[in-house]
Amino acid sequence: KNQVEQSPQSLIILEGKNCTLQCNYTVSPFSNLRWYKQDTGRGPVSLTIMTFSENTKSNGRYTATLDADTKQSSLHITASQLSDSASYICVVSANNAGNMLTFGGGTRLMVKP
């Protein structure tokens, strides 16, 4: 069964600090992995997308890593801002008919001043 597990479930950090969110997956055959940011009451917005051959991808203060061998990914947020408070969702796409997505449970990040 395809699964995506994220940790921690929630995280509180002080403004300006860095943090790293984790994602482990068992989706097969693997196509790509995306990190989304979802503000409360809004739809998910894509931050990064990584394919099998990519190890690192950055988008501003967000840096995602992918280890396809261990089936792990991380999202590192540098110099956090209050606006980073949101849920971060790891989504893995299977390389099969329909390219169905498997969603992680998300990490709720709160950045405090």
Q: Cα(20)–Cα(30) distance, rounded to whole angstroms? A: 23
Does 48 bind another protein (CB under 8 A)? Our answer is no
If one asks whether residue 103 binds another protein (CB under 8 A), the answer comes out as: yes
Check residue 29 for interaction with another protein (CB under 8 A): no
Strand partners, 111: 13
If one asks whether residue 73 binds another protein (CB under 8 A), the answer comes out as: no
Instruction: Tell me which stretch binds another protein (CB under 8 A): 13-21, 30-38, 52-60, 76-84.
Output: 30-38
- 109 scored as a contact of another protein (CB under 8 A): no
> What is the separation of C-alpha 20 from the centre of its chain, rounded to a whole number of angstroms?
10
Enter the tokens of residue 57: 């991808």
Q: Look at residues 6, 14, 5, 9 and name the one whose alpha carbon lies nearest to residue 77.
A: 14
Among 37, 73, 93, 111, binds another protein (CB under 8 A): 93
Q: Report how far apart, in Å, the C-alpha atoms of 98 and of each of 52, 65, 93 are.
A: 18, 25, 10
Binding residues for another protein (CB under 8 A): 31-32, 36, 41-46, 49, 89, 93, 98-101, 103-106, 108
